[in-house]
A and B are shown apart, each in its own frame.
Chain A
Amino acid sequence: MGLKSNLHNLKEKYKGKKMAPAFNALHTFLYLPNETTHGGTHIKAADDLKRTMNTVIMAMVPCLIFGMFNAGYQHYLALGTIEASQGFLGSTFWTLDNLIVGAWKILPLLAVSYGVGLLIEFIFAVIKGHEVEEGYLVTGMLVPLIVPVDLPLWMLAVAVAFGVVIGKEVFGGTGMNILNPALTIRAFLFFAYPTWMSGDKVWVHGAVERAGTADAISGETILGSYAQNQEIVYSFADMFYGLIPGSIGETSKLLIIFGALFLIFTKVGSWRIMLSTVIGALVMGLIFNGVVDAGIITSTSKFYGLMRVPFWQHLIIGSILFGAVYMATDPVTAAQTNKGKWIYGFLIGFISIMIRVFNPAYPEGVFLAILLMNVFAPTIDHYVVQGNVKRRLKRLKVKTA
């Protein structure tokens, strides 16, 4: 007997019992469900929840693999054992040593993220008696990509438990959540354990344990350097290709753009949100550049360093692109109407850069901006719909008059 029939037998055995959702979920995850709909209406469509989620995961896999290489690369680079890589295909970047270090650090993060998250999903499904939904598959993949590489695993476990319960299950599970669960997890980590989520030690593997010793190494992110008015040691190409310290999956802008194209091509991600987020970020960057050019902010100001960053550079430093492509587009928490999507995305970009520049305590504001707009998304939709209703009523009046 194969695994499939085993699972099927289990499913039959537990039908109608308490644990049924758990076995059904395993079966559906691995195989096509062997059930047909019973109702009258049938819509045959390939893009069910499982397929949608898998598409997003596929779009993130390059970022994850790159993140593994980059984690090892930053580690060895900070130790001084390897030369800086020349470009994206540099010989010192794609090495087995780098991958081993990265995988050793990142695979446990991935395992904890999925393990804890899915466990909670299963528990809630069993208690509430509904089917396990695929919603956590994407969240579980996103979480390791947006945390620093040296984050202790137990912290991640606590944060995932918090994020899944408070961010999702209290609202009724997948599809009902107001806040993006992955960002809720990151926000929790950020506020609960700030020393592990920001600063110049956490972004490179090994920096924390070496702090204060003779072997101390440092890996300040570019945003951190800018905020302290320091010189930037990385070239634009490094920033674009992602050969810089940062959260695991967000450094490579090149791969994020590939992921974005893939999501747009498969019509899973909304290009309106991605584009409008980028536009919003650029507009805010332009405003800040204008303020600096006009001489209102001078080099004595603590905002000077980040304000004079050329507006387009805001896109290749920090995680604004990652947020725009994988986070803001979450169909559940984003605005639903087309016009609403433009407003929603624009404000995310706009507020992200504003937080980034104005609040030195939060060197990266993308996750805060997206969470804020998640909350406002239903309001935006409401006014867009009402505006439409009003316009049509007016048209009706003109016609009948």
Chain B
Amino acid sequence: MGLLSKKDSKLILDPLADNNPITIQVLGICSALAITAQLKASIVMSISVLFVMGVGNVVISLIRNIIPSKIRIIVQLTVVAALVIIVDLVLKAFAYELSKELSVFVGLIITNCIIMGRFEAFALGNGPWRSFLDGIGNAAGYGVILIIVGFFRELLGSGTLLGIKVLGDPIEKTGLYAIGYENNGFMLLSPMALIVVGLIIWVQRSRNKALIED
């Protein structure tokens, strides 16, 4: 990364793996469980959060010196709410089907603990550029996990990827279905998302023992 200094690139790369908001800090689990049954929804959710966190972190960082600390949570909420409404309206305007699928979960980005967490922990004490990188990095870390989980849940649960029938047609019995394969209905239920996240955590920590806490 020639563009960024070493310290800055760490801001983006750390949350992708060793300080991942979902698998290490265990934040933002609720939406990871709720909307990952389909890859498309996971991707849209990741992009939405990326936008909200990137812009939100910058806004908070810019006004950090004029926010009275007593009401900072309310100010933060207002900023997130405004950004989430933008995302919601954009989705409704340009991808109506998808916004129906995501239903309340776009609105619930407001309550995503990662966002408030980064505002509190980072944007309030750092400049706009660094805050921007931090926001992008954490949102990307969140998105990576969402997309991995969404990939497996859609592939094994519905036999499709982004709506394309990659494993054949279950009704006409083509492809894998011709030899008796069946979709795993458990994958579409939320508990399985938790288990998949758990498996990712397991793999990650057994590869990097430093992450294991007692």
Contacts and interface: CB of A to CB of B under 8 A. Distances in A.
Interface residues of B, number: 11
B180 A192 contact: no
Interface string B168-205: 00000000000011101111010000010010001000
A196 B198 CA distance: 27
A192 B202 CA distance: 22
A304 to B, nearest CB: 30
Contacts of A194: 185
Contacts of B189: 191
Interface in A191-218: 191-196
Contacts of B180: 152, 154
A147 to B, nearest CB: 15
Contact of B186 (A152, A188, A196): A188
B184 A193 contact: yes
Interface in A131-170: 152, 154-155, 158, 166, 170
Interface in A296-341: none
B182 A191 contact: no
Contacts of B186: 188, 191-192
B195 A155 contact: no
A307 B167 CA distance: 44
A166 B185 CA distance: 17
Give chain A's interface secondary structure class.
Answer: helix
Measured as residues with beta carbon below 8 angstroms from the partner, the interface class of chain A is 10 to 19
A383 B189 CA distance: 33
Interface string B145-185: 00000000000000000000000000000000000111011
A152 B189 CA distance: 22
Interface string A170-203: 1000000000000000001001111110000000
A155 B182 contact: yes
Contact of B187 (A152, A154, A166, A192): A192
Contacts of A191: 185-186, 189
A152 B181 CA distance: 9
Interface in A96-115: none
Interface in B65-123: none
Nearest to B157: A192
Nearest to A155: B182
B185 A193 contact: yes
Interface string B118-135: 000000000000000000
Q: Which of B181, B184, B202 has the most CB of A within 10 A?
A: B184
Contacts of A193: 182, 184-185
Nearest to A194: B185
Given A152-B180, A154-B180, A170-B202, A192 B195 contact: no
14 contacts: A152-B180, A152-B182, A154-B180, A155-B182, A166-B195, A170-B198, A170-B202, A191-B185, A191-B189, A192-B184, A192-B185, A192-B186, A192-B187, A193-B182
Can you list the 4 inter-chain pairs with the closest CB atoms, starting with the nearest? A192-B186, A191-B186, A192-B184, A192-B185
